[in-house]
Amino acid sequence: MLQQGTGNSTAIEVTTEQQEILLESSDQLLNSEYSRNGGDLIITAADGVTQTILSGYFLNPQPLTSPSGAILFPETVTQLLVNNEPVEVAGPAGSLRIP
């Protein structure tokens, strides 16, 4: 696992040799917002500024763990993803775009 950080952002390269990905804290694991950008998982802390980017996570999804033993399996991570893409909904009066 290669890790590099700049300011409020840390990038971690996910490799196939890993069995799990250890995050810095339980707070980061359990109180963050999860989003996807291509094959990368972006974990945004509760402060809305600090981010951890797991490069290639969705190419080889693995459980996320914390030092205290908390764990999120890949299926749970997928369910927690925030949809950042607009959604178009058709209705009788035309269509509605939801940001």
What does the pLDDT look like over 40-91, one tens digit per residue?
999 999 999 999 999 999 999 999 999 999 999 999 999 999 876 666 766 6
pLDDT of residue 2: 43
- CA 53 to chain CA mean position, Å: 7
pLDDT of residue 71: 97
What is the pTM assigned to this prediction? 0.76
pLDDT above 50: residue 1: no
For the chain, how big is the Rg over CA atoms in Å? 16
